[in-house]
Structure 1
Amino acid sequence: MKPLKDAQLGAFTFFASALPHDVCGSNGLPLTPNSIKILGRFQLLKTITHPRLCQYVDISRGKHGMTTSVGCPVVMLLLLITREEGNMTSSPVLQIAHEVLEGLEFMNKNGMVHRALSPHNVLMDCKGNIKLAKFGLYHMTDHGADVDFPIGYPSYLAPEVIAQGSFHPSDPSHDEAPLPSGPKTDVWSLGVLLFELCAGRRLLQNIDITERLKFILTLGCMDDIVTVLAEEHGCLDSIKALPENVLELLRKCLTFLPSKRPTPAELLRDPVFSEVSRIYTPYQKPVSLFSSSLRCAHLELPEDISDLCKDDDEDYLSQRAIDEVYHLWCLAGGDLEKELTNKEIIQSKPPICTLPKLKDVAGEAYYPLLEDEQSSLPQSNSSNELSSTVTLPLIIRERDTEYQLIRIILFDRLLKAYPYKKNLVWKEARVDIPPLVRGLAWAALLGIEGDIQAKYESIDKDTPIPTDRQIEVDIPRCHQYDELLSSPQGHIKFRRVLKAWVVSHPDLVYWQGLDSLCAPFLYLNFNNEALAYACMSAFIPKYLYNFFLKDNSHVIQEYLTVFSQMIAFHDPELSNHLNEIGFIPDLYAIPWFLTMFTHVFPLHKIFHLWDTLLLGNSSFPFCIGVAILQQLRDRLLANGFNECILLFSDLPEIDIERCVRESINLFCWTPKSATYRQHAQPPKVAGDNGFGKTATYYSSDYQDIPKTDLSREPLALCDLKAEMSPRISAEDLIDLCELSLAGPTKRTKTGKPKIVAVDIRTGEDFNRGHISGSINIPFNTTFSPEGELVQCPASGVLQNYRGRVIVVISHAMKSAFATHLVKVNFPRVCILDGGINKLKPTGLLTVPSPQI
C-alpha cells in the first residue's frame, strides 16, 4: 500500500443506471440494483497496486444509485506539461509512453482495459512518474452496461469502438451487447495522447461531435494517419521534426485496423523502447502473507532503539498505508458524500485534512516492540487514556480513532511476523481485533499456513456437480441485506468457494447452512477466495467435525444432548421449565450450531462473536447457546411451548457483547471433560497447527488431551440422554481439586474450594477410602422417595455449597442423586465418570485417622 506521504486522495462520482421496480429475475427475486453490482466489481480494484496506477481505496453507495470512488490521484496533468513546455523532446515522449504502457500491460494481466484514456486520466506525480487514473471505471460498470453514459472520450476512442456506437441494455433497438473492448483500444488512445504532446495542442476539440466521429472513421482510408492528422491540425512541420523512433511509435499506436495494431505488452517490447527500457526495473508484486515464496521485512534498527522516536516533529502517521489512514478518517467522523457536497468539487487537497490530530500519539506507538519486557521507551502522552479505553465497550473501542491506530499498527507488525509471532497474535486477539485486519487475524488464529492460492487453484470449481442446484438456490438468500455479498460478484465468489469446499471434501456433503458459514470468511476476504476457502476449511473440522456427513443424525443428537446437559449444569431452573413444556433443543438449536450462529445473527454481530469463538475450543459454542437462553430467560420462564416456538421463530434482539462476556464466564465454570463428545474431532498429531497446543484463551480442548485410564469413556447415546447432568473425568477432578498425596490445595479468593466432591456412598464405604476433602452425604438420607430434599444435616451441608461445582461420586454410575439436585435447582452439578473405582488405582484415596 502507498504511504500517505506519497499520496493525495481524490474522488469521482457517477450515477448507476436505474432498473424498473416491477421486474424480477429468473429466480423470482427483485433485480440486483446496478449500483450494488458496481460495488461488488469494485472490490477487485482495491487489490490492484502498481507504480503506474492510481490506487483505489474505497467506494460508497449513496442515494439514488450515486456511487463515489475514492483513490489516490496525483498532482499534474499531462496537458499542463504541454502548455508549460510546448513541444516535447523525444526522450520524455518515449518515457511517458513506456510508463503508460507499463500500467496498461499490468491492467491487461488482471483482465482489464482502461477505455477512458485522456489527458484528465493520465496523471503525473511530483517526481515526474506517470499514473493512470479511473482505470477501473470500465471494469466496475460491466463495460459500461450499468451506467447511462459512455465510458471514454470520443476524441480518444479507437475507431472500432466508435463504429459500435453507444449501447445500453434497456435500449430495444439493440439485440445484443457489443463485445467488450480489448487491450488494443487503449493503444490507439495512447497514440492520440502522444500526438497531442508532440504537436502541443488538443485534437478535434473545436468541431461538433458528428464531424469529429466522421473524421476519425475516414482515417481508415489513409496509409499514414499521423501525417493526415498533422496536416489537418496545421502541425505537419512539428511532427516531421520528430525523431524517427517517435514517429514510428505514433504510427504503430495509430494503426487503424485492430488486427494490425499491437497490444501494450507487444509494444513495450518493441525496439523503439530499447534505450528507454534500460532505466526501468520490472515491477515485482510483493509477496503475500500466505504463499510458497520466502518473505521478510527489511528492517534496520539503530543500536539505540529509542533513536527511532527522537524526532518530535516527525510525521509518523504519514508512514502508514493510505487505506489505514482513510479507515481512521472514517472512524473520526469523515463522511465522503458530505465532503463532496460541501466542496462541490474535488480539491487537490483531500478531506483527509479533517483527520483529528494524532500528533499526541508518541513515536514509539508507530514502532511497537513485540516483547513487552524489552520495551524501555517512554510512554505516550495519552497512554493512560488508552489504558482506560481498553475497558470500554467494544463498539466504542472500534470507533476510537487513536485506539484503532495503535491496534492496527501492532497487529500489522504481528501478522507480518506470522507464524513466528503466532502466540502474540493470540494474546492481543484476547483484547480485541481491529476490524481493518480481522480477516488476516482470523486466518492466523485458525493456523492457516502455506501456499493456499496454489491449493485453491488446483480444485476443480467448474465441472458441474449435483450440489450446484442447491448452492444456486441458497446463495440469493444468504445475508443478502449486505451490499457486497448480494452483488453478482459476491454470488460468483460464494459459488466458487462453496463448490471448492464440496469438491475437496468428498467424504462430506453440502448441507443447507454451509453458505451461512462461508459468509463471514468471504466478506472479510472478498478479494482473496483462497484465504476464505482455507479459513472455512480449518474452521469446520474444529467446531463442526462430521456435521456435514450424509447421515449426521448421531453427531447432531450427541451435540444437542450435551447442550441440554450444559443448560441443566448452568441454569437448572430454566432447564426444568423447558423440559416440562417439551421445548427441547432439537426445536431451535440445530440452526445455531450447524451454522455457528451465522444463520441467526447479522454479520456485524457474528464478527464480534467469532472474535471470541476462535479463541475458545470446540466446546465454547455450548456456552454461547446457554448465554443466549439466559438473555431470554425471563420470557422463557413466563411462557409455554407455543409462545416459546413463536419467540424463536423471530429471535429478539440479543446483546452480543453481553453474550460474549457471559459465555466466557460460563466457559470458565465448565470442567473440560463435561462437554466431551465421542464424535468430536480426534486428537491432533504432533506438529499439527492446532489450537490446543498454541496460546490458550481459556483452556485447551479436552479432545486434544491424550487419553489415559482416568479419561472419560464413550457412552451410548441412549445412556447419555438418560442423564440430566454431565459427567466429568477422574483426571479432571484431580486437576480441579489439585489432588495429591498431600491432599487438596485449590482454593478460591474467599478460601472456599471452587469445587466440592460429594460422596453419596454409605458411611461405611466412605470410611474405607475417599477423596481427601470430599464430604459424605448418603443418598438415602438426603432425598425422599419422591425426590424431595429432606430437611436434615446432610441437606444443610448441601445448601452451603450451592453455586459451587458439585461432583457426585458413587460406587457405580448412578445419576439419580444428581438428577434430584437439578430438579431442586442446584446449579453446576456433575457426575464422576466411572465412580470411585476410577480413583482406586491412583493412591489418592484416604481413610479417616483412628480416634484415640
Structure 2
Amino acid sequence: MRSLKDAQLGAFTFFASALPHDVCGSNGLPLTPNSIKILGRFQILKTITHPRLCQYVDISRGKHERLIVVAEHYENCLSIFQKPENAPSAEKVLQIAYEVLEGLEFMNKNGLVHRALGPNNVLMDCKGNVKLAKFGLYHMTDHGADVDFPIGYPSYLAPEVIAQGSFHPSDPSRDEAPLPSGPKSDVWSLGILLFELCAVRILNKHSFSFRLKWRCCLSSLGCMDDIVTVLAEEHGCLDTIKELPDSVLELLRKCLTFLPSKRPTPAELLQDPVFNSISCHYTPFQKPVSLFSSSLRCAHLVLPDDISDLCKDNDEDYLSERAIDEVYHLWCLAGGDLEKELTNQEIIQSKPPISTLPNFVLEDGETFGQGRDRSFLLDDTTVTLSLCQLRNRLKDVAREAYYPLLEDEQSSLPQSNSSNELSAAVTLPLIIRERDTEYQLIRIILFDRLLKAYPYKKTLVWKEARVDIPPLVRGLAWAGLLGIEGDIQAKYEGIDKDTPIPTDRQIEVDIPRCHQYDELLSSPQGHIKFRRVLKAWVVSHPDLVYWWWSCLDSLCAPFLYLNFNNEALAYACMSAFIPKYLYNFFLKDNSHVIQEYLTVFSQMIAFHDPELSNHLNEIGFIPDLYAIPWFLTMFTHVFPLHKIFHLWDTLLLGNSSFPFCIGVAILQQLRDRLLANGFNECILLFSDLPEIDIERCVRESISLFCWTPKSATYRQHAQPPKVAGDNGFAKTSTYYSSDYQDMPKTDLSREPLSLVDLKAEVSPRISAEDLIDLCELSLSGSSKRNKTGKPKIVAVDIRTAEDFNRGHISGSINIPFNTTFGPENEVVQCPAAGGLQSYRGRVIVVISHNMKSAAMFAAHLVKMSFPRVCNLDGGINKLKPTGLLTVPSPQI
C-alpha cells in the first residue's frame, strides 16, 4: 500500500438493502445481510493500487445496515474546471482524458468497472494529476443489487445503462437482473465529462438545464451521426466546440459513440494517435513486487545522482511518508471515530424512534406519520478525516524513530522526549500496548523494515516477535516465523481447486459453522476463500485425510483472516503450521499419534501440577474427554480469534511441545474449580469453557516451558528432524524454539517407548544428555542454579548404598528403593523422610538401573504432590560410558 504523501483520508457512508427477518436460505440458515456481503467484496479493493486510483483503506459496518468506507481523498476534483475562469486548455483536456483512461484500463484488468464517473469522483492531487474515487462502489454492491439506490449519476450514464432501468432483487416485476455494465459504459461517461470541460464557458450558466435535458434527448441520438454536434447545438455551444482541435473533437466522437459495439474500450483509446504527444511523458505502471515471490523486490530502486539529497531535512512531515493503512490504523488508536466524524458533518443524523414511524392513512384520506427518512438514501459526500489529533499525539516522537537502524546500531539512536515512556510501555499488558499510539508507531515501523529485509533479517524478526507483534503486520510476521519463502502464488495457482472431490460436501458443511461471529469470515467471499484454501490443502496432501471431526477449518481461520486478500499466503502458512504442530494428526489411522500426544500431555500435568493430576485421575477425567479439540485445532476451536492471535503470537515462537504447556496453563486457571468438583461437574465445565485470561495463559505457558526439560516431551510420532536447506526452525536461534526432535541423536538421547509402556508411567522421562546439560557435568561438575541461587535440579539415585558408592552423579542424593518399598512394592517409608522434602519445587530426576523401579518411585512422589518429577531414560547405565560418575573419597 502506497504512502500518504499529500493525500488525506476521506470517509463516506451508505446503507445496504435490508433483508426480511423471517426468510432463511436453502441450507436453513438465516440469510447473510447485504452489508456483510458488501464488506466481504470490499476487501479485494484494498489491493488495487495504481497512481490514478484513490487507495481504499477500510470499511466498517454499523447499525441498520450502515457501511462507512475509508479511502484516499483529495479536496480538489474535476468540478474546479467548471468555472469559466478555470476553463482547461485543449492540452489539459487530453491530459485528464489520458489519466482517467489509465485508471479505467487498470481497473478493467482487475475485473472492475467504475460506473459512477462524475466530476466529484475525478479528484486532482496537488500536482494536478487525476485520482479516480469511488471506483469500487459498483463492485462491492454486486453491480448495485445490494443497495436501494442506482450506482452512477444519470447525467453521465451510458444510453445502454439507462435503457436497462433500475433493478432490485426484491422487485417482483423483474425476473432477471440486467447485465453488468462493461468497460465501454465508463468511456461514455468520460466523454460527457470531457464534453462539459470543453464547453464549460458556455455551459457554466446552463449546466443544470443541460443535465435535465440530457436524458430527454437520448431517444433522438440513435439516428444521429455526430452526437457531439447534436449536444453542442442543443445547448448553444456549437461555436465553442468547433474551436477545439480536431484531435479533441475526434476523441469526443469516439467516447460518445452511441452503439456500444462500435465504442472503444479504455485500453483501445489509450493506443489512439490522439495521445501520441502525451503518452511519451508517462511511464507504464509497475505493480510492486510482493514479499513472497520469485522477483527481486529492489529491482526498481534507483539512487539519486547526488547521495546527499537523501540526507536533506527540510522539516518534512515524516508521518506522510508512512503507508495509508498505517496512518489510518494510528488515527483510530489516537481516538479517531468514523461515526463521530460523519455525525459532526451532519452526514449521520440520529432521530428519536417515534420520528421514524412510517405513514398511515385514515379512511378520510388524512395522512399521518413521517415520509421516507432521507438519511437512509445515498449521500455521496466524502468527509475529510482530520489528522490533527494524531499529529499532536506523535509530536514528541523523534524523527530518527521513522528510520530505525538495525542490529547493534539501534542502541546509539538519539532518544525522543517520550523514549522513557516507550521503554516503560514494554512492561505494560499486551492489550494496552496494542492501543498505545506512539508504541505502535515505533513497532510498526521497525517490523516494516525487518519484513522488507526478510528472509535476511529472519533472526531479528524472531527477536522482536518475542517482545510482541503489532496487529497491523501480524499476517506477514507470522509468515516470517513459519519460514515461508519462494513464489507461493505460483505454487497455489498450480493446485486444482475446481475439480469436485469427495471432501467437498464436508467442507461445505463445516465452513458455515467456523467463527461465523466474525463479519469477514461469515461473508460469501469469506466462504469462497475458505473453500479454496481448504480444498487446496486437501488436494496437495493426498496422504492425509480431512476428518469430519478434525475442525481443519478452524486451523485455517486465523491465517485466512490475516491474509484475506492473499489466499496463497494463507495456504502456505497453514501448510507450514500443520507439519510442525500437528504432524501426522490427519492420517487415515491417527489413533496412535493422538494417544501418544494425550499421554505426554497427561505426564506434563503430573510434572507441573501433581495435585491436580491426582484429582483428575481419581475422578476419571482424562485428557481424552476434553483435550482432543484443543490440540487438533491448536485451541482455535476453543477461543475466539482475538484471543487466538495473542496465543499464537507466542505459540509460533515455540516448538512442537509448546502446546502442552498452553494446555497445562489453561487447566491451572481452572484449577480451583476442577479440584472442587467431580466428574460430572468437570464435564459440564468444559462443555462451556469459562473465560480464560489469554495474557496470563501465555505468560504461564512460557514459565512452564522453561521448567520443562526438552526431552520430557519427546514423541516418536513428532515431525522428524529437518534436513539442511529446509525452511525449518532448527536453524533459528530463539529461547524456546529449538525442538528436541531436531537435535542430532547420540547414545545419550531418549529411546522411543511403546504406547503401552508410555501410558504405564505417570512421570515423563528425560534423556541423559538433558541431565548432563542441566547439571553442567561436562563443564565444572557444579549444578545449574536459578535466580534464587538454589539448584534447579536434583538427582535422586534410588539404587542401593553399595551401588551408589561405586559411582554416582555429582551432587545427587541416595534414597534406596528397598528402604522405601517393601518386597510386595508396598510403601514402607515416605521418601520425604529421607530429606527429599527440602528439595520440593526443583526438577527431581529419579535414577536407577531398573526403569520399573524408577517409574514406581516417581509415581509415588507424584502421589505425594511432588512437582517436576521425572525419570532418567535408560537409567544409570546410560551414564556409565561417559566417565562422569564420581566415587566418594575413602574416609581416613
So what's the TM-score if we normalise by structure 1?
0.97
Paired amino acid for 2:385: P
Q: Measure the CA separation in 2 of the matches of 1:176 and 1:724.
A: 69
Paired amino acid for 1:478: C
| Inter-CA distance 696–658: structure 2 relative to 1 (3 Å threshold) | same
Report the equivalent of 1:154: 154
* Alignment partner of 2:869 out of 820, 824, 829: 829
Tell me if structure 2 keeps the 8 A contact 1:727–1:832: yes
Secondary structure, counterpart of 1:147 in structure 2: coil
Please state how far the C-alpha of 1:738 moved relative to its aligned partner: 0.9
Report the equivalent of 2:209: 206
User: Unpaired segments of 5 or more residues in structure 2?
Assistant: 348-380
Tell me if structure 1 keeps the 8 A contact 2:666–2:692: yes
Please state how far the C-alpha of 1:88 moved relative to its aligned partner: 3.5
Report the equivalent of 1:579: 617
Please state how far the C-alpha of 1:812 moved relative to its aligned partner: 2.2
- Comparing 685-694 with 484-493, greater Cα deviation is found at 685-694
Q: Please give the per-residue CA displacement for 1:448-498, whole angstroms capped at 9, x wherever unaligned.
A: 111111111111111111111111111111101011111111111111111
Report the equivalent of 1:91: 91
Q: Please give the per-residue CA displacement for 1:396-430, whole angstroms capped at 9, x wherever unaligned.
A: 00000011011111111111111111111111100
So what's the TM-score if we normalise by structure 2?
0.92
Q: Please give the per-residue CA displacement for 1:527-554, whole angstroms capped at 9, x wherever unaligned.
A: 1111111111110100010111111111
| Residues 537-686 of structure 1 aligned to structure 2 (within 5 Å) | 537-686=575-724
| Residues 66-81 of structure 1 aligned to structure 2 (within 5 Å) | 66-81=66-81
Secondary structure, counterpart of 1:428 in structure 2: helix
Secondary structure, counterpart of 1:49 in structure 2: coil
Please state how far the C-alpha of 1:843 moved relative to its aligned partner: 1.1
Tell me if structure 1 keeps the 8 A contact 2:819–2:829: no
Q: Measure the CA separation in 1 of the matches of 2:826 and 2:443.
A: 56
Q: Measure the CA separation in 2 of the matches of 1:85 and 1:451.
A: 54
Report the equivalent of 1:175: 175
- Comparing 336-345 with 469-478, greater Cα deviation is found at 336-345
Please state how far the C-alpha of 1:375 moved relative to its aligned partner: 4.2
Tell me if structure 1 keeps the 8 A contact 2:393–2:438: no
Report the equivalent of 1:418: 454
Tell me if structure 1 keeps the 8 A contact 2:492–2:536: yes
Tell me if structure 1 keeps the 8 A contact 2:12–2:382: no
Report the equivalent of 2:888: 848
Question: Is 1:131 aligned to residue 169 of structure 2?
Answer: no
| Inter-CA distance 340–237: structure 2 relative to 1 (3 Å threshold) | same
Please state how far the C-alpha of 1:378 moved relative to its aligned partner: 1.8
* Alignment partner of 1:277 out of 273, 279, 291: 279
Please state how far the C-alpha of 1:353 moved relative to its aligned partner: 2.3
Q: Measure the CA separation in 2 of the matches of 1:177 and 1:678.
A: 60
Paired amino acid for 2:743: I
Q: Measure the CA separation in 2 of the matches of 1:692 and 1:613.
A: 16
Paired amino acid for 2:669: Q
| Inter-CA distance 634–166: structure 2 relative to 1 (3 Å threshold) | same
Secondary structure, counterpart of 2:851 in structure 1: coil
Secondary structure, counterpart of 2:845 in structure 1: strand
Tell me if structure 1 keeps the 8 A contact 2:12–2:383: no
Q: Measure the CA separation in 1 of the matches of 2:64 and 2:412.
A: 55
Tell me if structure 2 keeps the 8 A contact 1:570–1:666: yes
Please state how far the C-alpha of 1:741 moved relative to its aligned partner: 7.5
Please state how far the C-alpha of 1:54 moved relative to its aligned partner: 0.8
Report the equivalent of 2:324: 322
| Inter-CA distance 364–307: structure 2 relative to 1 (3 Å threshold) | farther
| Inter-CA distance 597–241: structure 2 relative to 1 (3 Å threshold) | same
Please state how far the C-alpha of 1:748 moved relative to its aligned partner: 2.5
Paired amino acid for 1:152: G
| Inter-CA distance 698–578: structure 2 relative to 1 (3 Å threshold) | same
| Inter-CA distance 267–379: structure 2 relative to 1 (3 Å threshold) | same
**Identity percentage over the alignment?**
85
Q: Measure the CA separation in 2 of the matches of 1:374 and 1:187.
A: 53
| Inter-CA distance 171–737: structure 2 relative to 1 (3 Å threshold) | same
Question: Is 1:257 aligned to residue 259 of structure 2?
Answer: yes
Please state how far the C-alpha of 1:785 moved relative to its aligned partner: 7.4
| Inter-CA distance 792–93: structure 2 relative to 1 (3 Å threshold) | closer
Please state how far the C-alpha of 1:377 moved relative to its aligned partner: 2.9
Tell me if structure 2 keeps the 8 A contact 1:101–1:265: yes
| Inter-CA distance 785–259: structure 2 relative to 1 (3 Å threshold) | farther
| Residues 799-818 of structure 1 aligned to structure 2 (within 5 Å) | 799-814=837-852, 815-818=855-858
Report the equivalent of 1:52: 52
Q: Please give the per-residue CA displacement for 1:98-131, whole angstroms capped at 9, x wherever unaligned.
A: 1000000111111100000011111111101001
Q: Measure the CA separation in 2 of the matches of 1:301 and 1:839.
A: 66
* Alignment partner of 1:490 out of 515, 523, 526: 526
Secondary structure, counterpart of 1:4 in structure 2: coil
| Inter-CA distance 788–65: structure 2 relative to 1 (3 Å threshold) | farther
Give the number of aligned pairs: 850
Q: Measure the CA separation in 2 of the matches of 1:307 and 1:80.
A: 35
Q: Measure the CA separation in 2 of the matches of 1:256 and 1:310.
A: 55
Q: Please give the per-residue CA displacement for 1:755-777, whole angstroms capped at 9, x wherever unaligned.
A: 11111111111112211111111
User: Unpaired segments of 5 or more residues in structure 1?
Assistant: none
| Inter-CA distance 742–273: structure 2 relative to 1 (3 Å threshold) | closer
4+ residue runs of structure 1 moved beyond 4 angstroms? 297-311, 345-349, 783-794
* Alignment partner of 1:468 out of 483, 493, 504: 504
| Inter-CA distance 6–97: structure 2 relative to 1 (3 Å threshold) | same
Q: Please give the per-residue CA displacement for 1:40-67, whole angstroms capped at 9, x wherever unaligned.
A: 1111111111110011111111111111
| Inter-CA distance 753–124: structure 2 relative to 1 (3 Å threshold) | same
* Alignment partner of 2:388 out of 339, 353, 364: 353
Q: Measure the CA separation in 2 of the matches of 1:347 and 1:161.
A: 25
Please state how far the C-alpha of 1:256 moved relative to its aligned partner: 1.2
Please state how far the C-alpha of 1:213 moved relative to its aligned partner: 3.2
Please state how far the C-alpha of 1:790 moved relative to its aligned partner: 5.5
- Comparing 397-406 with 241-250, greater Cα deviation is found at 241-250
Tell me if structure 2 keeps the 8 A contact 1:782–1:795: no
Question: Is 1:505 aligned to residue 505 of structure 2?
Answer: no
Q: Measure the CA separation in 2 of the matches of 1:84 and 1:691.
A: 68
Secondary structure, counterpart of 2:127 in structure 1: coil
- Comparing 687-696 with 579-588, greater Cα deviation is found at 687-696
Secondary structure, counterpart of 1:500 in structure 2: helix
Paired amino acid for 1:315: D
Tell me if structure 1 keeps the 8 A contact 2:11–2:383: no
| Inter-CA distance 786–394: structure 2 relative to 1 (3 Å threshold) | farther
| Residues 135-534 of structure 1 aligned to structure 2 (within 5 Å) | 135-200=135-200, 201=203, 205-206=208-209, 212-296=214-298, 298=301, 313-344=315-346, 349-355=384-390, 356-373=392-409, 375-511=411-547, 512-534=550-572
| Inter-CA distance 786–108: structure 2 relative to 1 (3 Å threshold) | farther
Alignment root-mean-square deviation, CA:
2.1
Paired amino acid for 1:206: S
Tell me if structure 1 keeps the 8 A contact 2:58–2:71: yes
Tell me if structure 2 keeps the 8 A contact 1:741–1:844: no
Secondary structure, counterpart of 2:576 in structure 1: helix
Q: Please give the per-residue CA displacement for 1:273-317, whole angstroms capped at 9, x wherever unaligned.
A: 122111111011111111110122959799999996977x44322
- Comparing 174-183 with 471-480, greater Cα deviation is found at 174-183
Please state how far the C-alpha of 1:347 moved relative to its aligned partner: 7.3
